[in-house]
Structure 1
Amino acid sequence: MNEFYYENKEIYRKFILKEKITSLYFRFMSYWAIKTSLKIIVPTDSIMQEAITRFPRYISKLSRIYESSDFDSQTTDLADQGFKRVVKIIYVGGFYRHKGQLRFIQFIKQLLRIYPGLNQTIELTFHGHVKDVEYFKECESESRTLSIPVSFSSYSKEKSLAEIYSDHEICVSFSEYEGFGLPVIEAQSLGIAVCCSNLPVFCEILGNSAVILDLKDLKASLSRFQNLILNSAFRNSIRESGAENCKKFSWKNTASETYTLYFGLPNG
């Protein structure tokens, strides 16, 4: 069970009628799955705590097994990037309202207003499937108010994950809810500095290896993000911390823990 997206009250309030009906279905399926399964695997301790809060009777069924990325950070080139005239920023995630792309665009608008010198310094790429068409259109429209280059792209079979992230110095996620947050770990494994919102999940899997912003404190967040863009030495230190952090997440470990859990269940 990856997360409780359809049961999150803050997200539910933003749903249209069709999504609210879908939410009822998934709430029932979540309860049925937890009630009838011998074991429930969740991807983080944060989601584990949410599951315990929602289903306290079934705490003994819960096990946390981390997800991972497809890359070995030991092979990643972590050479000092030095000063770059243009810093490329990528935001990876499907276009759902809770994923935070619009929030980030508005954040960048504030950043450029306070630090106008950055207009010639940054470029933005948003990469992800369009899940909510209206929300995507809002993001596109708002992005056109920015005075910097902004591009949008989607996944395709012809482009690998390494190619998607290539040539970018910073990966951002201002998501309001995640089960794990795979893109930020993928970015770290490819030697990209990560900056994200202070979700419990992000704090858990990233710790001090990323720039984690309390977006309620806008002034401090803008200052820290500007420093990440302009200070190449700081950005390199975040890249190095990220490369070390992502070593904790291995698909080999994920598979091994899942295998052990599965074959440890009673027969029948």
Structure 2
Amino acid sequence: MNIGIDVFGCDHGRSGTGSYVLSLVKNLPRNNGCTYELFGPEIDRYTFDPGDGSVSYSGIQIPDSITAERLWHLFYLNRFAAKRKYDAVLFPAGSRVRHYTRKIPAVAVIHEVVSQEMASQEMAFDTGKVSVSAGWLKSFTSSLKKPAKIIAVSQFIRKDLTAMNIKAEKIEVIYDGIDHSMFYPRPALSSDTVNIQPFAIKKPYIIYASRLSKPEKKHIELIRAFSLFKKKTGLPHRLVLAGSEDPYAESVHREAASSEFACDIFITGYFPHKDFPELYSGSEACIFPSVGEGVGLPLIEAMASGLPVACAKAGSLPEIAGDCAMYFNPDDTEECASAIEAVLTDTKLRERLIKSGFEWVKRFSWEKTAEKTIELLQSLK
């Protein structure tokens, strides 16, 4: 079986979807009668290469823009897929691509809570920003009815899709995995600084790893809660916000700059996924206040690294973290500040969260994710 994997819309490996593709490709099952070919921008020829020659790449020369990608999918995708003789096509950026192969079975992967994305966001097009209309939302929903199957990366996303009148029987839940060879408890370093080029991050610190992209991520609320925590406890901890930045990030920077503890707030911008294990290993805790998550992968990466986790009781996070996290309301500044204090100072709580979290994450692996994904594609032949 010849399987095509569309890497358009994956932000050249610099987003959550890009990390998904990198991990999936690395763990694709071999010797199962399948051949795999990635296709996407020519500039990404080596971005997702697993390095063992098991996956080929077909590069396409088009401008690096959302509009160009969508036009290519609309007018050229079907002929391209037929020419490459794909038996099925996987679309990891399923909610961004929106145009799928017609005669060749397609599987779209949905990582986002689509209804929230469409209801609250402005979609940035090359010509500027336009508000999402009810008609556009209807059109988008219709596009999700076209793939043979949809992979939802959590039950929370599956419920969201069915509420948008996507048939439940065409949606399969396949959780993202984690790379246990990367994320595991590491010995505490004696140095008071974590050096990850080009960063030098002074310890102790807590971490929130998420893109600075929208209000639902609750970066501003976390900064306010962190400031209250600092004022109340006087502890030396810093707050590290690690993630790529969208235009919304400007408001996060302003909030951080206006805090009386601005010198203890460190915003990294884009942070390479390969360096997160070291960043986690130097941290005291993971604080995750987002209320719009469909995946919550940083939670289980932090747990696998031996960190206690406190997060919002919202979105997919209770599903992903189970009983192994401390939950709080990110809109309640005092409650969030108290959660930060608890996971840092309550020894028994820290030990319980670390132990239970480490056992919990053993159920997540990229090998399982890749195997189930390919099995689904094979079932369509």
Query: Which category describes the TM-score, using the shorter chain as reference length?
Result: 0.7 to 0.9
- Corresponding residue for residue 94 of structure 1: 211
Any idea what SS the aligned residue of 1:200 has? coil
d(CA) in 1 for partners of 2:357, 2:366: 17
- Whether 2:160 is the aligned partner of 1:50: answer yes
d(CA) in 2 for partners of 1:30, 1:54: 7
The superposition leaves residues 190-242 of structure 1 with CA deviations (integer Å, 9 ceiling, x where unpaired) of 11111111113000010111111134555444333312121233223211211
After superposition, residues 20-169 of structure 1 pair within 5 angstroms as 20-21=131-132, 28-32=139-143, 34-56=144-166, 58-72=167-181, 75-77=184-186, 87-97=204-214, 98-113=216-231, 115=232, 118-132=233-247, 135-144=248-257, 145-147=259-261, 149-155=264-270, 160-169=275-284
Structure 1: gaps spanning 5 or more residues: 80-85
- Corresponding residue for residue 326 of structure 2: 211
- Whether 2:299 is the aligned partner of 1:184: answer yes
d(CA) in 2 for partners of 1:94, 1:23: 27
Greater shift, 212-221 or 96-105, is seen at: 212-221
Match of 1:3 among 89, 93, 112: 112
Question: Residue type matched to 1:141 in 2?
Answer: R
* C-alpha contact 2:228 2:334 (8 A) present in aligned 1: no
* Amino-acid identity (%): 23
Question: Residue type matched to 1:66 in 2?
Answer: Y
Q: 1:106 to 1:218 in 2, by over 3 A?
A: closer
* C-alpha contact 1:78 1:240 (8 A) present in aligned 2: no
d(CA) in 1 for partners of 2:343, 2:292: 24
d(CA) in 2 for partners of 1:248, 1:4: 23
The superposition leaves residues 47-96 of structure 1 with CA deviations (integer Å, 9 ceiling, x where unpaired) of 1111111125x2210110000122258952488xxxxxx64101111111
Greater Rg over alpha carbons, structure? 2
More helix by share: 1
Deviation for aligned residue 1:156: 5.1
d(CA) in 1 for partners of 2:273, 2:300: 22
- Corresponding residue for residue 82 of structure 1: none
* C-alpha contact 1:101 1:174 (8 A) present in aligned 2: yes
Any idea what SS the aligned residue of 1:36 has? coil
More strand by share: 2
Question: Residue type matched to 1:168 in 2?
Answer: S
d(CA) in 2 for partners of 1:121, 1:59: 49
Deviation for aligned residue 1:165: 2.2
Deviation for aligned residue 1:104: 0.4
Any idea what SS the aligned residue of 2:161 has? helix
d(CA) in 2 for partners of 1:154, 1:197: 22
Deviation for aligned residue 1:110: 2.9
Q: Structure with the greater relative contact order (CA < 8 A, sep ≥ 6): 1 or 2?
A: 1
Deviation for aligned residue 1:10: 6.0
Q: 1:168 to 1:205 in 2, by over 3 A?
A: same
* C-alpha contact 1:228 1:235 (8 A) present in aligned 2: yes
Aligned CA RMSD, in angstroms, stands at 3.1
Normalising by the residue count of structure 2, what TM-score does the alignment of the two structures yield? 0.59
- Corresponding residue for residue 83 of structure 1: none
Question: Residue type matched to 1:214 in 2?
Answer: N
Q: How many residues align?
A: 253
d(CA) in 1 for partners of 2:123, 2:227: 23
d(CA) in 1 for partners of 2:354, 2:115: 34
Q: 1:61 to 1:184 in 2, by over 3 A?
A: same
Any idea what SS the aligned residue of 1:235 has? helix
